[in-house]
C-alpha cells in the first residue's frame, strides 16, 4: 500500500465487501465511491480522511452515519442514495457540505426535509420523495 498512499479517488463497485479498512491509509483521498457493496456502517475513523471532498455510499444496506462524519470539513458532496438509513439529522453533516443526495433511500424514517434544509443552509438536498 506504500505507493498507493497518493491515490486521490477510489471506487469499489458491486463487490461483496464491507467498508475497506485499507482506505484509512490513504490520507490524500478526495473521492470515495462504494456502490453495490455490503457496507452497513461507516467507521468512526472516517474523520481521519481530512482531504475527502466527495463521498458516495450508494445501493447498499447502510443504516446509520457515524458522529465523526461531521468532522470531514472538506466534504462538499455526499450521496447516500439507495441506502437503508434509519435516521438523519443536520448535526451529522459537516458544515461545508454543498450537496446531499438521498434519492431512492426509502427505508429511513422520513426526516422533516424543510427543517433539514434550513439547518444545512446552502446545502442542495435531493430527497428520495417530495
The verdict on residue 50 lying in a domain is: yes
pTM across the whole model: 0.86
8 A C-beta contact, residue 1 and residue 23: no
- Burial per residue of 75-106, b for 16 or more beta-carbon CB atoms within 10 angstroms, e otherwise: bbbbbbbbbebeebebebbbeebeebbbeebe
Decide if 112 is inside a domain. Answer: no
**Is 109 a domain residue?**
no
Q: Is 51 exposed, middle or buried (0-12, 13-18, 19+ CB in 10 A)?
A: middle
Burial of residue 37 (CB within 10 Å: 0-12, 13-18, 19+) is: buried
Which residue range forms the structural domain that includes residue 5? 1-77
Q: What local confidence, expressed as pLDDT, does residue 1 receive?
A: 47
pLDDT for 11: 93
Question: Is residue 33 domain-resident?
Answer: yes
What CATH code is carried by the domain that includes residue 67?
3.80.10.10
When pLDDT is cut at 50, 70 and 90, the band that residue 130 belongs to is very low
Q: How many domains does the chain have?
A: 1
Tell me the pLDDT tens digit for each residue of 79-95. Answer: 999 988 877 778 889 98
For the chain, the straight-line distance linking the first and the last C-alpha, in angstroms and rounded, comes to 44
- Flag whether 92 is in a domain: no
Amino acid at each position: 500500500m506504500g505507493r498507493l498512499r497518493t491515490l486521490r479517488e477510489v471506487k469499489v463497485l458491486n463487490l461483496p465487501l464491507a467498508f475497506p479498512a485499507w482506505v484509512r491509509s490513504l490520507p490524500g483521498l478526495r473521492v470515495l465511491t462504494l456502490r453495490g457493496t455490503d457496507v452497513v456502517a461507516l467507521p468512526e475513523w472516517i474523520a481521519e480522511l481530512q482531504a475527502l471532498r466527495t463521498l458516495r455510499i450508494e445501493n447498499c444496506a447502510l443504516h446509520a452515519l457515524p458522529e465523526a462524519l461531521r468532522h470531514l470539513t472538506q466534504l462538499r458532496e455526499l450521496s447516500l442514495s439507495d441506502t437503508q438509513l434509519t435516521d438523519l439529522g443536520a448535526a451529522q453533516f459537516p458544515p461545508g457540505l454543498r450537496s446531499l443526495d438521498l434519492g431512492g433511500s426509502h427505508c429511513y424514517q422520513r426526516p422533516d426535509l424543510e427543517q433539514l434544509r434550513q439547518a444545512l443552509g446552502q446545502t442542495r438536498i435531493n430527497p428520495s420523495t417530495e
